[in-house]
Structure 1
Amino acid sequence: MNDDAQASQGVLKHLKAKQIKQEDVANYLGISRTTLNRKLNGSSEFKISEIKLIHKQYNVPLSLFFEE
């Protein structure tokens, strides 16, 4: 698993632990659930603007986006 995929898995685990639905996050970001799923699985990268919004709205630690 590459670094991006590992970081994305950390974000996904955090959302699941807080019972935050992927559909809600996707709607908040203005992207499809499929696109969000690709980002959470490490197939696509999050934009900086998306990281900021997720951090602010859902209190996801920034460090989860940049895990090594």
Structure 2
Amino acid sequence: METTAPNRSAAGGSSRVLDSAGGIASRVSEAVRASGVSKVELARYLGVCRKTIDRRLKGEREFMANEIGLIAKRLKVPVAELLGDA
């Protein structure tokens, strides 16, 4: 099982995903719960602290575009499902 993300960069030059209504945060949060992956494990995979993940899952901070792809890969769900395009 892969535990670290290849070529990850939490802050390095990636754009934020606009989520004004919190829909992405809600979908990612639900996918995390359904997957059984812990927030700590997801934070480590993304290379960020758990507080950062908590804030993003609550919709207090936006996800980075590269994080959405990495989260989808780790949780084994389509990116479109997290973005609401499914």
TM-score, normalised on structure 2?
Answer: 0.66
Counterpart of 1:38 (choices 34, 55, 73) is 55
In terms of fraction of residues, the more helix-rich structure is 1
Q: Secondary structure at the match of 2:25?
A: helix
For structure 1, the residue ranges without an aligned partner over 5 or more in a row are none
Could you tell which deviates more after superposition, 7-16 or 31-40? 7-16
Q: Residue 65 of structure 1 corresponds to which residue in structure 2?
A: 82
Could you tell which deviates more after superposition, 36-45 or 6-15? 6-15
Letter in 1 for 2:43: A
Residues 33 and 46 (structure 1), Cα distance of their counterparts in 2 relative to 1, 3 Å cut: same
Equivalent pairs counted in the alignment come to 66
Deviation of residue 11 (structure 1)?
1.0
Of structures 1 and 2, the larger Rg is shown by 2
Do the aligned partners of 1:8 and 1:64 also contact (CA within 8 Å) in 2? no
Q: Secondary structure at the match of 2:74?
A: helix
Deviation of residue 49 (structure 1)?
1.0
Do the aligned partners of 1:8 and 1:41 also contact (CA within 8 Å) in 2? yes
Percentage of identical aligned residues: 30
Pairwise CA RMSD: 1.7
Could you tell which deviates more after superposition, 14-23 or 57-66? 57-66
